Homo-oligomer: A and B are copies of this chain.
Amino acid sequence: MEKNIMSLTMYQASIPSFARMLGNLSAILDKAATHAKAKKIDPSVFINARLAPDMYPLSRQVQIATDLVKGCAARLAGMDVPSYADNETTFDELQARIAKTVAFLQSVTAAQIDGSEERNITLKFGPKEFHFLGQPYLLDFVYPNFHFHLTTAYAILRHNGVDLGKMDYVGSD
């Protein structure tokens, strides 16, 4: 465990946590793919599974979770947000999206993120705009939304019988 922490920074509160949680998500999806293979279940059953008819399926949960953190890293750093096609339909494709997102996160440096507490952030959802400062964007928007989609992905798989435990979600390193 890192002993030389100093003061909490915007970088520490974002990029390493995001990368760590995406690593856990990747391991969870691997377990789901292995389970599907062992039980001879078409993997698309899991990829398209939902907890309620008007909730997103597993694939979309992974897409949104990755969108949230690539968007956060880019916006806090003042960069353009990378655009992904949202066309993943297999476990391998979802894994590739996660790996691409982690690589992007790791390309952003602490120097780019630190000091972004008061950076002006604008999010556009169709015609609506939402304005945040960097710190509440991270704490009140990205964090809850990111964990919401990660947990929902986990819960979809648990509900469908994949043998996972909370340590798979939280990680143990």
**Complex Cα spacing A130 to B169, Å:** 17
- A55 close to B (CB within 8 Å): yes
- A87 close to B (CB within 8 Å): no
Say whether A143 contacts B10, CB under 8 Å. no
- A45 close to B (CB within 8 Å): no
- A79 close to B (CB within 8 Å): no
* A residues in contact (CB < 8 Å) with B: 1-3, 5-10, 12-13, 16-17, 20-21, 51-52, 55, 117-118, 131-133, 135-136, 139-141, 143-145, 147-148, 151-152, 154-155, 158-159, 161, 166, 169-171
**Complex Cα spacing A131 to B1, Å:** 10
Residues from chain B with Cβ under 8 Å of A171 in the complex: 140, 144
Residues from chain B with Cβ under 8 Å of A141 in the complex: 170
Say whether A132 contacts B17, CB under 8 Å. no
Q: How far is the CB of A64 from chain B (nearest CB, A)?
A: 10
Closest 9 CB pairs of A and B: A147-B147, A151-B151, A52-B158, A51-B159, A5-B117, A144-B170, A155-B155, A5-B135, A148-B151
Say whether B5 contacts A8, CB under 8 Å. no
Say whether B139 contacts A13, CB under 8 Å. yes
Whether A148 touches B169, Cβ cut-off 8 Å, given contacts A5-B117, A139-B17, is: yes
A2's partner among B13, B51, B136, B155 (CB-CB below 8 A) is B136
**Complex Cα spacing A154 to B52, Å:** 12
Q: How far is the CB of A162 from chain B (nearest CB, A)?
A: 9
**Complex Cα spacing A52 to B156, Å:** 10
**Complex Cα spacing A158 to B53, Å:** 10
